Amino acid sequence: MSCLIVQSDKTLLLEVDHERADDCRRAIAPFAELERAPEHIHTYRVTPLGLWNARAAGHDAEQVVDALVQYSRYPVPHALLVDIAETMDRYGRLTLSKHPAHGLVLTTTDRPVLEEVLKSKRIAPLVGARIDPDSVVVHPSERGQIKQVLLKLGWPAEDLAGYVDGEAHPIELLEDGWALRPYQKQAVENFWHGGSGVVVLPCGAGKTLVGAGSMAQAKSTTLILVTNTVSARQWKHELVKRTSLTEDEIGEYSGTKKEIRPVTIATYQVLTTKRKGIYPHLELFDSRDWGLIVYDEVHLLPAPVFKFTADLQARRRLGLTATLVREDGRESDVFSLIGPKRFDAPWKEIEAQGYIAPADCVEVRVNLTDTERLAYATAETEEKYRFCATTDTKRKVTEAIVRRFAGQQILVIGQYIDQLDELGEHLNAPVIKGETSNAQREKLFDAFREGEISVLVVSKVANFSIDLPEATVAVQVSGTFGSRQEEAQRLGRVLRPKADGHQAHFYSVVARDTIDQDFAAHRQRFLAEQGYSYRIVDADEILAEDSTG
Amino acid sequence: MSPAAHPAPRSLAEALRARDDVSLAALLRSRPDLITPVPTDLTQLATRAGTRASVLRALERLDRFALQTAEALAVAPDPAPYDTLLALMAGDARDETVAAALPHALGTLREQALVWGDDERLRLVRTARELLAPSPQHPSPTGLGPSVQEATSGMSPGRIQDIVATAGLPSTHDSVSAVAALTALFEDRKKMGDLLAEAPEAAREVLARLVWGPPYGQVTPDPAAHLRWLLDRGLLLPTAPGTVVLPREVALHLREGRAHRVPEPLPPAVEPAATHGAQVVDATAAGQAYTALATVEELMKDWDEGGPAVLRAGGLSVRDLKRTAVALDVSEPVAAFWVELAYAAGLIASDGEADERYAATPAYDEWLERPAAERWSQLAEAWLTATRTPGLVGGRDAKDRTLAALGPGLDRSAAPEVRHRVLTLLAGLPVGAAPDTESVLARLRWERPLRGPQQRNGDEDLRSRLARWTLSEAEQLGITGRGALSAHARALLGAPAAGAGSRTGSGTPGTSAAPGTSAPPGTSAPAAAGSTRVLAPAGPAEGTGPGDKLPVHHHHRPGGPALTPLSPAEQAVATAAAARLLAPLLPEPLDHVLLQADLTAVAPGPLRRPLADVLDVLADVESKGGATVYRFTPASVRRALDAGRSAADLHAFLVEHSRTPVPQPLAYLIDDVARKHGHLRVGAASAYVRCDDDTLLNEILADKRAAALRLRRLAPTVLAAPCDPATLLEGLRAMGYAPAAESAEGDVLIARAHAHRTPPRTAPEPVPDGPPPPDATLLTAAIRAIRAGDLAATTPRRTAGDGAAVPGGELPRTSSAETLATVQAAVLTGESLWIGYVNAEGTASQRVIAPVKVEGGFVTAYDHTADEVRTYPLHRITGVAELAEG
């Protein structure tokens, strides 16, 4: 009996408790995406993107087929193997390379494929003269565009055109008293070897250090794109602490500051600001001869940034993310523009190695009061979520939870400002929301970090990249509807390793029998699939414990 | 010539008479149509063997080389000695392979009574000769034209003498000897070579163009010099004005004696495309076999509560097929295959109700009870022998109607034979070898070449398509695994699984095929013949050496059993053997699942049926294959509760069958759904009693007289009753209460005595005792009709010929020439005529018409009787008479 079951819908079921499970996981990980990782059986999915990722990483169809046949418990359907071989065969029929005389050229090993793609209306404007039957000139500025279109046509091109080195700048890691973790090293190595690509690591697993490690490899000027200013500051802080870079070498390019230094950290927001129909800050990309571009939180990369990225194909690109799942389904753009996945490690595995804290996830179901139920039933559709998400009972439950974990660092996270203000008042805790100034935010975060305040109420502004090492309890009272990645991010808040090895707690307070519950189910699905099981408890239990305890 | 002791047969009947019983049996076996009904004597048998239909059928079943031999005989002189035939087949160069294969092909033709006579006087039966000999309408596949003698048959003797003279031959005194001399010249390789050496270059090019056919060419009335050179020497002969033909003898000279451009004496070998381990093949096939069972079961489950409706023309609508394809998660052609398979196996059928739907048959329930391996072998056997061809679904028939799955028009009688043949070819490969599809098709085409222009609009012929479908369906069904025949499928075909390896290993395709001559009906005897030769290159040892004067017969069977379609009894044994081989390869059903916190359950293999049934209700299937992934959702749990299970049942069920602890979220989900389940209740009532005073309602309920009203308390102030409101009112009034009726809006309804009314009705139609009086228009028309009829019947008339009036009441009769002349005259004069006329139903009538024009066999005329212009076909006019003057 082997450990892998190949399903007809191209999912692979891996029995994790099996003795050969680890070998098998290693064998299938290059080409199959881990889709769900609950406690007993992990589900991997074989997709064309995954297979091409594998090809990009140097695996061939034979290895893939071998892995399946070797580990499969039941005979693998012949059709599936044929399909895999055919799909993988499509990668690399077309290659983009540098031609000494003609510049960037698209070459094929299979002439009909070239003929087929050249017939496409979308390819025609991107290519120039035909050099010989097997190659055609590509406008250098369309390098990203053509890769995107070719992927959509099902003939992904292998980009061998190489990279410009960019302006050199000395960067070293200062490993005093700490070192890159093995998986971080592996990630840096895989990325550097592959040229460009995406590293997938869970929140709290030290993605910033993977970025720093890559910069130390590149030793060149670097542009780092992050989601917001807080995150930018944290990157800066971390880089100063972990590398030979000094404060002066790192510039911040955001709404308030416009510094361009050898290492520049810019926010997505400032880049995508549009004035009079143009993006005035785009010149940042050309302001220096960047040798490396780092994209933090790739799964949030706004659409315009993809467009700019298409023009930056000659530079090394590193994407960092906790999940390749994009709510907008643009995974293929990530693949073609930033690069294939170069490294990933399942959440649970890193937890098992002790690098992130184990978490206890609890969903608390609260009942609406009778009047609330009536109001909810008659509310307009677009108002419904707000109605149920901000029910009064949630406040009581939240208070009870906060009381139970008194003394620990607690975050209360929510979507609706009214609700948060009210909670802040009742819990006697400061509230961080959109209107809070950055200085004030940093001050509060510092105070929280130092333990001066133990409860912090935050709106979704704190969703991303803030680093709150000592938060051990998070209470989520409302969220952006069913956003799975938000849930992952929020859980990430409490997953940083705790100094005292405390167990982290993640509470999600949900109104029963409402769309809040449906959204919660949707949000949790990602985490449940990552192996985080939610316990579900009734609000009454919490309240009862609270009154007795 | 033959010695006197064996007088040469003078007819096919005599030739048959000379054959022994075994040989006759072989004939009848290969041409079973000859004995339906059984002929009374050999003369009758010979006659029947010579009928066009029967010969055609026999020719269509010949392999390519035998057919080529027959075609060569058709262009050879009748009778032809063996050597002539050999020369035609092997050419001047004497192709040794052809020469070696020829006796066998000839043996086949003789056995099938297509050829008779000894080696000195081989005769192709006349019908076959007519079918195969070249004619302008049916060019021969050989591409040869008519012989000199045939081509010159209409030519003037002078012209023939001219040709003979130009060709350099002495002139003769008659055309027959001149033609003979010309033929002799053309057949003489040396002299002919000399003649052609003198030909202009352009002329040789013309010949080269025509040599392999078609042999006909167009010439202008005034041909160019090089054509004239050819025409003058009879190297081209005119057939029709502007057309010339290359005479057969000339073509044969140019072809170095060969009747066929490419003689194909040997069947093309089936090439293996890939070879897999026997274990891999069997395991893959078994996996697929299991999938096949699961798919059929899923299909039946999908159709369990009322399958799709039967179209009026029969079959499944395109929409239903699409839906089924989605339900099975396969493409539509594949869905059609499964549906047809279940149908062929008798598992589904139309229910025959007025509102006709497809449903499972009782046989399905029996099938379901059997062990998996037997279930599979039953399906496989049904597939093997079915004439239904699912591959046709979605195509169009001759009338351009779409062919629906399960519908009519899907039967192809060749299907079982092709399936069997393809699998037999597969069985001939070494174990684990997957064939190259094209080579299989090429082999099939060799074994059963198509005669005539059957390949239209680039479509493949039916047999090739059947073969392709066979290969893909075999893979679907688990007959083959990775393209190679599995051990259990070998057993199904009746081939010994163990011995197969050693024998096929020695590279002898078709090992187990019976020698061609003893192939039972239904098999392609030619195919077998072909394989025999490959099997035993030492042909003569098998008795197929040249010089055999009688049809060749083998009376022994080779060591292994034949891979021929089995009799039902044999098939049953083979099916059981297949099931036995398959059984250990199928996964053992499990009795447990793994429950996970993300609300999924994974069954790491097939589940025992009761467990699977419950899980199917309790959870939604998310992914299928070797394992099944189920997902629990509030809806699926509710479904289970609706099915009558309690929350406690479900918990117990999960604990019992889960190998892992039941995750808390799942337990919570079940409780949560159960808590809400049945919270709202729905029922039916016809009337209610409402009263704010619940003591009054208590009183009513307690009253014995209310028992008949069957009141039920829904709430303290509401009673419901199954009777209608009027009855309830009556009842309550009878009990002494004063209820008021309530409208739908809750208002008190003022009730008046309700008058009884029918549904809308129309007033009865009056029934008059005679027809209504006619109005003026009708009257005028009627009178005119009567008068005209009267005129036609009573006018004194005279005939064109003698002027004597035809007696009244009889139809005039005149010859057609006379009729035409009279009518034409009447057109000119504008006179009216009296005609006798027989309409299309054969009713005779007489009419008075004024012809307007005569044209194309029709007379257009004003018909006085009908008062309108009509057209009469002249041939329906029995005669005409002019109306008498005055």
- Reduced 3-state DSSP string for A26-73: HHHCCCEEEEECCCCEEEEEECHHHHHHHHHCCCCHHHHHHHHHHHEC
Residue A504 is predicted with a pLDDT of: 83
Distance CA B60, CA B524 (A): 10
pLDDT tens, position by position, B554-568: 433 333 334 566 777
* pLDDT tens-digit readout, A488-506: 777 777 776 666 667 788 8
In CATH terms, are A182-350 and A357-548 the same topology? yes
How far apart are alpha carbons B335 and B317 in whole angstroms? 13
Whether residue A7 contacts residue B625, with contact meaning beta carbons closer than 8 Å, is answered with yes
**Sign of the alpha-carbon dihedral angle for B705, B707, B710, B711:** positive
**pLDDT-based confidence at A470, cuts 50/70/90?**
low
pLDDT band at B6 (very low <50, low <70, confident <90, very high): low
List of chain B residues whose C-beta atoms are within 8 Å of the C-beta of residue A78: 284, 288, 475, 481-483
CATH 2.30.30.100 domain extents, chain B: 776-883
Query: For tokens 């069957």, what's the residue?
Result: B710
pLDDT value of residue B5 = 47
In angstroms, how far is the first alpha carbon of chain B from the final one?
A: 91
| CB pair distance less than 8 Å for A535 and B623 | no
The answer to whether residue B414 scores a pLDDT higher than 80 is yes
* A8/B596 Cβ within 8 A: no
pLDDT at residue B138 tops 80: no
User: What is the rounded average pLDDT for all residues in chain B?
Assistant: 79
Rounded Cα–Cα distance for residues A209 and A470 (Å):
19
How many CA atoms lie within 13 Å of B294's alpha carbon, on the beta-carbon side?
Answer: 27
Whether the predicted pLDDT of A382 surpasses 90: no
**Disruptive mutation site among B330, B338, B598, B668 for chain A (greatest number of A CBs within 10 Å):** B598
Identify whether the C-beta of residue B800 lies closer than 8 Å to the C-beta of residue B882: yes
Given an 8 Å threshold on Cβ–Cβ distance, is A38 in contact with B597?
Answer: yes
State residue A40 phi and psi, 5-degree precision.
-105, -40
| Predicted confidence (pLDDT) at residue A338 exceeds the cutoff of 90 | no
Q: Which of residues 510-539 of A touch B (CB under 8 A)?
A: 513, 525, 528-529, 533-536
**pLDDT 10s digits, B299-338:** 888 888 778 888 888 888 999 999 999 888 888 999 999 9
pLDDT, tens digit, for every residue of B793-831?
A: 556 555 444 444 444 556 778 888 888 888 888 888 888
Question: Over the stretch B589-618, which tens digit does the pLDDT of each residue have?
Answer: 888 999 988 888 998 888 888 888 888 889
Written as six digits, the tokens of B748 are: 């008190």
- Interface mutation target, options B475, B594, B596, chain A, most CBs of A under 10 Å: B596
Q: State whether B604 and A15 contact (CB < 8 Å).
A: yes
| A7 → closest Cβ in B475, B587, B623 | B623
* pLDDT per residue as tens digits for the range A186-223: 999 989 888 888 998 877 788 889 999 999 998 999 99
**Given an 8 Å threshold on Cβ–Cβ distance, is B598 in contact with A15?**
no
Residue B552: what pLDDT?
A: 41
Minimal-distance CA residue of chain B relative to A15: B604
Kindly indicate the confidence band of residue B539, based on its pLDDT and cuts at 50, 70 and 90: very low
Q: What is the pLDDT of residues A65-76, one digit of tens each?
A: 888 888 988 888
- Smallest CA-to-CA distance from B376 within B368, B385, B365 is with B368
A364 chain-B contacts, CB cut-off 8 A: none
The amino acid occupying position B368 is L
pLDDT score recorded for residue B778: 67
Convert the pLDDT of each residue in B85-107 to its tens digit: 888 888 877 888 888 888 888 88
Q: Which residue has the higher pLDDT, B596 or B754?
A: B596
Interface test with B, best of A24, A34, A41 (most B CBs within 10 A): A41
Residue A325, Cβ neighbours under 10 Å: how many? 15
Minimum-distance CB partner of A40 among B481, B596, B665: B596
Verify whether the Cβ–Cβ distance B598 to A38 is below 8 Å: yes
Domain ranges of chain A: 4-90, 96-159, 182-350, 357-548
Q: How many CB atoms lie within 10 A of CB B598?
A: 27
At which residue do the structure tokens 């050879």 appear?
B76
- Chain A residue numbers touching B660 (CB-CB < 8 A): 39-40
Smallest CA–CA distance, residue B628 to chain A, in Å, is 8
Is the pLDDT reported for residue B756 higher than 70? yes
The answer to whether the Cβ–Cβ distance between A74 and B594 falls below 8 Å is no
Tell whether A198 lies on the interface with B, counting CB pairs under 8 A. Answer: no
Token pair for residue B836? 């006798």
SS (H, E, C) B468-507: HHHHHHHHHHCCEECCEECHHHHHHHCCCHHHHHHHHHCC
Cβ distance A78 to B600 less than 8 Å, yes or no, reads no
Crossing angle of helices A370-378/A381-389, nearest 10°? 160
Residue where the block lists tokens 């008795």: B543
How close are the terminal C-alpha atoms of chain A, in Å? 51
Q: What is the pLDDT confidence band of residue A263, given thresholds at 50, 70 and 90?
A: very high
Phi and psi, residue A506, nearest 5°: -125, 115
For domain B776-883, give the CATH number: 2.30.30.100
Mean pLDDT score, B704-718: 87
Residue B490 clears pLDDT 80, i.e. is over it? yes
Q: State the best of A361, A514, A533 to mutate against chain B, taking most chain B CBs within 10 Å.
A: A533
- Of the listed ranges A333-342, B446-455, B592-601, B620-629, the one predicted with least confidence: B446-455
Query: What does the DSSP 8-state code read for residue A335?
Result: I
Q: Which residues of B touch A69 (CB under 8 A)?
A: 280
pLDDT at B502: 38
Helical H runs in A120-179? 143-152
Instruction: Please name the member of B594, B623, B665 whose beta carbon is closest to the beta carbon of A40.
Output: B594
In angstroms, the separation between the Cα of residue A78 and the nearest Cα of chain B is 6
Identify all chain B residues contacting A529, using CB atoms and an 8 Å cutoff: 598
Report the pLDDT value the prediction gives residue A265, as an integer from 0 to 100: 92
Nearest C-alpha of chain B: how many angstroms from A204?
23
Residue B545 pLDDT class (50, 70, 90 cuts)? very low
Distances from the Cα of B227 to the Cα of B187, B200, B204, B726, B805, angstroms: 21, 9, 10, 109, 71
> Cβ atoms within 10 A of the Cβ of B683, count?
8
pLDDT at position B784 is: 64
CATH homologous superfamily of A182-350: P-loop containing nucleotide triphosphate hydrolases (3.40.50.300)
Q: Which residue of A has its CA nearest to B285?
A: A75
pLDDT over 60 (residue B514): no
Contact A533 B664 (CB under 8 A): yes
A524 falls in which pLDDT band (50, 70, 90)?
confident
Torsion of CA A435, A439, A444, A446, to 10 degrees: 150
Instruction: Give yes or no for A70 touching B (CB within 8 A).
Output: no
CA-to-CA dists, residue A320 to A203, A323, A522, B14, angstroms: 10, 9, 24, 94
Q: How confident is the model at residue B517 (pLDDT cuts 50, 70, 90)?
A: very low
* CATH architecture of the domain with range A357-548: 3-Layer(aba) Sandwich (3.40)
> Is A17 an 8 Å CB contact of chain B?
no
Reply yes or no on whether the pLDDT at B509 is more than 70. no
Minimal Cβ distance to B597: which of A7, A13, A528: A528
